[in-house]
Amino acid sequence: MLLNEYDLVGHIVIQESNTKFIKPVESNLSVTCSFESVEQKDKFIKMFKRKGVARIQLESRITFDNDDHVVFKGAYVVHT
């Protein structure tokens, strides 16, 4: 989504990942994933525009009733 926001095209590769399954996931789940900071996002976009490749680490959480059920951490490489 971020690449589309900046009219960029790239291939996304999961370089490394870790998934922690804490509890079974039931209905009405929510998934969140966000940048650690605006600076992290800006640095990623700047690097991708300049070199055609950039790396970023993100964490996603699947929650149910405001309680974490799954935590996914990934290191991604995006290249042209």
The stretches of 1-80 forming alpha helices (DSSP H) are 2-5, 38-51
Residue 75: pLDDT over 80: yes
Six-digit token pair at 16? 């490394």
Residue reference for tokens 């929510």: 30
* Residues 27-71: tens digit of each pLDDT: 889 999 989 999 999 999 999 999 999 999 999 999 998 899 999
Edge-to-edge strand list for the sheet holding 11-21 = 11-21, 67-79, 53-64, 30-34
Arithmetic mean of pLDDT, 3-9: 93
Q: How confident is the model at residue 11 (pLDDT cuts 50, 70, 90)?
A: very high
The full set of domains in the chain, from first to last, is: 2-79 (3.10.129.10)
